[in-house]
Amino acid sequence: MRLFLLSFLLAATPALSQTSDHEAVRTTVSYYLDGGTTNDFDLLARAFHPSATMRWIDGEGAYRDVNAVEFFEGVMRPGPPSNRVTRVVSIDVAGDAATAHLEIEYPTFTFVDYMTLLKIDGEWLIVSKAFHRRPHAHAAE
């Protein structure tokens, strides 16, 4: 019986670790989403490694690449909560690396974010964000 219990615990440990890592990644992306919604730069910045990058293709078709923390620090202003709906579409964790697919819906468009996270010194942090701004079909009307 003891051997069975020990075998079960050893086999379950990676699954338990995976679940807690999954929850920790969700917490990290929640800092980003909640900080952006409430215009709380300090909360949003908790999600990012200081050297995290943000990459996208702009409206002219040009590739853009900036430091994410510096970008948000320059554009965020205190104010009322944003009129938006956030959603964690998926999270995938493999060891010390993870990805998160997020959607942030505004009245006329949705940001589709793809985050890459690493577990650095035991803490999950976003190290890269790539995104697309998808207009809503009814916005063109």
Tokens of 121: 């010194």
What is the rounded CA–CA span in Å between residue 7 and residue 71?
Answer: 49
Predicted local distance difference test score (pLDDT) of residue 5:
40
Give the SS3 label for residue 84: coil
Tokens of 103: 């959607």
How many CA atoms within 13 Å lie on the side-chain side of 37?
15
Alpha helix segments (H runs only) across 1-141: 2-38, 41-45, 68-75
Other residues' Cβ atoms within 10 Å of the Cβ of residue 121? 5
Predicted local distance difference test score (pLDDT) of residue 17:
53
CATH code, domain carrying 53: 3.10.450.50
Predicted local distance difference test score (pLDDT) of residue 88:
98
Domain of 41, in residue numbers: 2-140
CA angle 54, 107, 115 (to 5 degrees): 25
What end-to-end distance do the CA atoms of the chain give, in Å? 68
pTM: 0.84
Give the SS3 label for residue 119: strand
Predicted local distance difference test score (pLDDT) of residue 139:
57
Count up the domains in the chain and report the number: 1
Residue 15, φ and ψ in degrees, nearest 5: -65, -40
Longest CA–CA span in the chain (Å) reads 68
Those residues of the chain that have pLDDT short of 50 are: 3-16, 141
Predicted local distance difference test score (pLDDT) of residue 1:
53
pLDDT in tens, 91-114: 999 999 999 999 999 999 999 999
